[in-house]
Structure formats: structure tokens, C-alpha cells
Amino acid sequence: MNDSPKINYWRLAGILLFGFYFLTCALHAEDWHFIDNVDLIIHEAGHWIFIFFGEFIQILGGSLNQVLIPLIFAIYFILREDYYSSSVVFLWVGYSIVNVSVYMGDAIKMQLPLLGGDNVIHDWNYLLNHSHLINYTHMLSSLTYSIGVFMIIGAAVWGVRETRG
């Protein structure tokens, strides 16, 4: 008698495809990807959502919202005990963290094109200068990038495990 759990090959293909996409995006984080369009809209909305909490939090709110929105969806699926769907959304959370690391890493050179052109505040230049951490820009962005990549890998592994059932 075979009691081993059956693998849902559609889910396996899905998690491998999404995992490959997000990991490829992370490994080429300096390039623009389709998901960056979504993250940009969510990022910009975050500045408006957090406008009532003071200038520092409003500026942080863009990157914060960019990570919080997919995280909220991932938690929603966990609460519904839909762990496979949660793992797929955690891939996005990981990539959003990677995306934030790119913006963070640009805090000194400020070469990324920003919405609004040259007359807008570079979020991470402002945040790191005001928190007196600008000298740690490279270390902080590297750490943030690593956390994002590990989250992508972890979510992919979790998703593969969730294809059994």
C-alpha cells in the first residue's frame, strides 16, 4: 500500500515558475521587471497612506507599504490555512524587499530615475541621512538584499513542500 502524499504537479509547476521569475528578478535587481510596475504603484500609494504620521514616516511609508501590502496578503492566506498560496505571495514579499534594497543602495549616488524628476526627495537618502546611517548605506542595502533573496528561496522551498497533499 502506498501512503505517500500525492504531488499536485500544477502547483509544483506554478511555484517553480514563480520562484524562477522572482529569483531571476532578484539576481538582476538593477533591471526593470513587470512586477516593478506593481511595486511602484504600491510604493507611491504608501507615501499618501502614511502622510498623517509625520515627514519621516511618510517618506518611509513608500518602502514600508511596498513590503506590507504583499505581506498582508500572505498573512491572509496563512489565516485561511492556504499555505501554498501564502508561499507564492511570500515570493513577492521577498522580491519587494530586494527592490527596496536597490533604492536604499542608491542613497548616496542618487542615480535612479524618480517620479517627479530632480525636484523630489530621494527617500533613502533622506531616511539614512536623518537617522545618521548614510555611512552604512552599502551594508544596509546588502543586508536587505540578502534578506529578500533568502525569503524568495525559503518561500519557493515552502511552496514545493505544499504541493503534496
For Cα atoms 89, 66, 92, give the angle at the middle one, nearest 5 degrees.
20
The C-alpha cell of 57 is what? 514616516
Q: Residue 13 contacts by C-beta under 8 Å, 6 or more apart in sequence?
A: none
Q: What is the pLDDT of residue 45?
A: 97
Q: 33-57: per-residue pLDDT in tens?
A: 999 999 999 999 999 999 999 999 9
Query: pTM score > 0.85 for this model?
Result: yes
Q: What is the pLDDT of residue 120?
A: 87
